[in-house]
């Protein structure tokens, strides 16, 4: 089957490394938006923004994963913007299952930070190749060699510098493209941003360079770039695609330096759709059978219509609007009449889609995170778990007449796969579980804004939870009888043990070897 070429990638970074700005500039370069600032704009110009939830606007952070599609020079780019905050790592983990490559954004002043390292490890688990973009070179920062050495040491990766800054901070005079021998310079006004001034040269020692930048800058560039090319690995497409090497680009997202080089690198080197892990066997993008999986569900993207959209990564086959797909696990057949392609809040009906594409399927609770859809024999995409929450809270309604609305709201948010809801065996108060504290703030904010439910959270007697199972039905029955006050069920009815603290969890686990206590659960 001949299919259009796709580049489906995520942007990962620590908060404040410049991810949202880079996203905007990639969309601008790809022609998806026409005015710098639209992603952060207010009012009518806000149509192109990636951070659309109210709390995201207030806090200036991304807490959900957005999907944006744009085309450039015959290629379709599917960009998945991920939450940078560690409290939303679960959403990010699942988003990274839906991409074929990633761009890692690093602040030139800070280097690799804790959240960057965590996200990288997720990419490594799935062998996702990574391009590194060292941002903010127009500001005072660390030396390029220090940054490259840190990437190599902390991530255990070969690094291949593809560009080099001509000075940094107040001495910044441009970027030199080591791969193509091109010098990009800033404008000469106070903005000092990139306006397309690119000069092709024969190499670092082309005399033409001496008239383009200061004597000190060109001397330093020649010395540093020569050392970098001699001291670090040469770029190898095979090593990059295997996840053993990262090409490194320097730049400034704010001033639009290095953006074109980054898109060109994605187009030239990043892999197209890859095989996906599945049972009974991996799903190849060349398989004519249509197969996809749900990696995210988002409620109320359009609060006026109380909609729910399931995000599906298409793994194989040519999808056509209106076709029927089987929901593996339930056996239900679903007609997909109104699939959509995303550009933040903007949507466009998808008449067709190909492997690598992300389409939205409007539904009313039918589809959930982890579902596999196919028009062929049953197959289950693997590696999309729920994670055991580390914070448990009771939900208290300020208006008891809103009980029905609260249950609906919590069910909606549990369906999205981030907030989890547990029903205790004893007592009627629902327990919500999250991985990070900020998720609780988002929960309360969304209850108020989207569902008009005024609620509060209070401490629960439990600190953490684990799913339980056993091959010995008698042992399971005895355990459930003896620990009824600490048992609950999740929204699927699966049994959950809730522990007061880590010590109790460890003690109970050791005392009951016939019971499996698990911190993750995949959809059956």
Of the candidates 444, 451, 438, 449, the one whose C-alpha atom is nearest the C-alpha of residue 63 is 438
% of the chain beyond a pLDDT of 90: 51
Predicted local confidence at residue 222, as pLDDT = 96
The closest alpha carbon to 14, from 120, 135, 157, 115, belongs to 115
What pLDDT sits at residue 269? 95
Least confident of 32-46, 252-266, 377-391: 32-46
The DSSP 8-state label assigned to residue 201 in this structure reads -
| Cβ-count burial 39-56 (b if 16+ within 10 Å, e if not) | bbbeeeebebbbbbbebb
Q: What is the pLDDT of residue 12?
A: 87
d(CA 18, CA 35): 18
Reading across the β-sheet that carries 174-177, which strands appear in turn?
163-166, 174-177, 182-186, 194-200
User: pLDDT of 114-155, one tens digit each?
Assistant: 777 877 877 887 789 999 999 999 999 999 999 999 999 999
Residue 294: which region, alpha, beta or left (left: phi > 0; alpha: psi -120 to 50)?
A: beta
pLDDT at position 438 over 50: yes
pLDDT at residue 385 greater than cutoff 50: yes
Q: By the 8 A CB rule, do 266 and 131 touch?
A: yes
Supply the mean pLDDT for the chain: 85
Which token pair is 63? 């807490």
Euclidean distance between CA atoms 186 and 196, whole angstroms: 8
Query: Angle between the 19-29 and 259-269 helix axes, to the nearest 10 degrees?
Result: 80
pLDDT at 207: 94
The mean pLDDT value for 499-523 works out to 90
Residue 461 burial class via C-beta count within 10 angstroms: exposed 0-12, middle 13-18, buried 19 and up: middle
Predicted pLDDT at 86: 53
Confidence (pLDDT) at 126: 79
What integer pLDDT is reported at residue 245 of this predicted model?
96
Q: What is the pLDDT of residues 347-369, one digit of tens each?
A: 788 899 999 999 989 887 788 88
Average pLDDT, integer, range 401-416: 82
Q: Is 478's pLDDT higher than 90? A: yes
Q: Quick check: 391 pLDDT over 60?
A: yes
Q: What is the mean pLDDT of residues 76-100?
A: 75
Q: Say yes or no to pLDDT of 345 above 60.
A: no
Domains of the chain, CATH where assigned: 11-17+62-69+82-269 (3.40.50.300), 278-381 (3.40.50.300), 386-521 (3.30.70.3280)
Instruction: Please give the Cα distance from 108 to 134 (Å, whole number).
Output: 6
Paired strand residues for 166: 174
What is the band of 442 on the pLDDT scale with cuts at 50, 70, 90? Answer: confident
Alpha-carbon distance of 61 to 53, in angstroms, equals 10
Pairwise CA distance, residues 186 & 180, whole Å: 18
Q: What is the pLDDT of residues 276-320, one digit of tens each?
A: 999 999 999 999 999 999 988 876 555 555 567 889 999 999 999
pLDDT confidence of residue 229: 94
3-state secondary structure of 124: helix
Band the pLDDT of 45: cuts 50, 70, 90.
very low
Instruction: Read off the pLDDT band of 78 (50, 70, 90).
Output: very high
pLDDT for the residue numbered 59: 47
More confident residue, 65 or 109: 109
Report whether pLDDT(261) > 90. yes
Give me the pLDDT at residue 55, please: 46
Is pLDDT above 90 for 9? yes
| 30/497: higher pLDDT | 497
pLDDT-derived band at 506 (thresholds 50, 70, 90) equals very high
Residue 239: the pLDDT is 95
Residue whose C-alpha is closest to residue 3's, from 359, 373, 353, 325: 353
Tokens found for residue 89: 């790592």
Reported confidence tier of residue 511, pLDDT bands at 50, 70, 90? very high
Bridge partners, 104 (sequence order)? 12, 132
The winner for highest mean pLDDT among 32-36, 50-54, 358-362, 442-446 is: 358-362
Query: By mean pLDDT, which of 65-79, 217-231, 337-351, 422-436 is the weakest?
Result: 337-351
Question: Alpha carbon of 282 to those of 99, 383, 401: distances in Å?
Answer: 16, 12, 49
């Amino acid at each position: 089957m001949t299919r259009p070429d796709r580049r489906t990638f995520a942007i990962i970074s620590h908060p404040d490394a410049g991810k949202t700005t880079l996203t905007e500039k990639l969309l601008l370069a790809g022609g998806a938006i026409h005015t710098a600032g639209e992603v952060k704009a207010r009012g009518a110009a806000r149509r192109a923004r990636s951070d659309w939830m109210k709390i995201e606007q207030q806090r200036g952070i991304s807490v959900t994963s957005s999907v944006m599609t744009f085309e450039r020079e015959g290629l379709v780019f599917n960009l998945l913007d991920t939450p940078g905050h560690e409290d939303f790592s679960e959403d990010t983990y699942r988003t990274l299952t839906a991409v074929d490559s990633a761009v890692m954004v690093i602040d030139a002043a800070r280097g690799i930070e804790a959240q960057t390292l965590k996200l990288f490890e997720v990419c490594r688990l799935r062998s996702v190749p990574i391009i590194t973009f060292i941002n903010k070179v127009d500001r005072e920062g660390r030396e390029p060699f220090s940054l490259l050495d840190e990437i190599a040491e902390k991530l255990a990766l070969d690094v291949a510098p593809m560009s080099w800054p001509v000075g940094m901070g107040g001495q910044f005079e441009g970027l030199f493209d080591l791969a193509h021998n091109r010098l990009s310079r800033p404008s000469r006004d106070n903005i000092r941003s990139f306006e397309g001034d690119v000069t092709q040269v024969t190499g670092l020692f082309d005399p033409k360079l001496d008239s383009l930048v200061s004597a000190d800058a060109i001397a330093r560039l020649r010395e540093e770039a020569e050392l970098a090319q001699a001291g670090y690995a040469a770029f190898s497409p095979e090593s990059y695609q295997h996840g053993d090497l990262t090409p490194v680009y320097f730049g400034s997202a704010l001033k639009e330096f290095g953006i074109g080089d980054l898109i060109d690198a994605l187009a030239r080197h990043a892999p197209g759709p890859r095989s996906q892990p599945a049972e009974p066997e991996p799903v190849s993008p060349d398989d004519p059978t249509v197969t996809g999986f749900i990696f995210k569900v988002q409620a109320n993207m359009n609060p006026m219509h109380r909609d729910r959209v399931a995000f599906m990564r298409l793994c194989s086959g040519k999808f056509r609007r209106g076709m029927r797909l089987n929901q593996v696990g339930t056996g239900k057949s679903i007609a997909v009449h109104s699939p959509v392609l995303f550009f933040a809040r903007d949507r466009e009906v998808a008449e067709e889609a190909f492997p690598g594409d992300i389409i939205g399927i409007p539904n009313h609770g039918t589809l959930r995170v982890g579902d596999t859809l196919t028009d062929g024999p049953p197959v289950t995409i693997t590696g999309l778990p729920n994670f055991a929450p580390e914070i448990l809270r009771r939900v208290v309604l300020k208006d008891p007449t809103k009980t029905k609305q609260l249950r609906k709201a919590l069910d909606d948010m549990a369906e999205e796969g981030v907030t989890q809801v547990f029903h205790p065996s004893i007592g009627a108060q629902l327990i919500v579980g999250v991985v990070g504290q900020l998720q609780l703030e988002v929960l309360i904010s969304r209850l108020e804004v989207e569902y008009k439910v005024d609620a509060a959270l209070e401490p629960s007697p439990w600190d953490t939870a684990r799913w339980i199972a056993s091959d010995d039905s008698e042992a399971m029955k005895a355990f459930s009888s003896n620990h009824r006050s600490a048992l609950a069920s999740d929204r699927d009815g699966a049994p959950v043990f809730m522990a007061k603290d880590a010590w109790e969890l460890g003690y109970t686990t050791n005392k009951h070897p016939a019971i499996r206590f698990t911190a993750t659960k995949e959809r059956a």
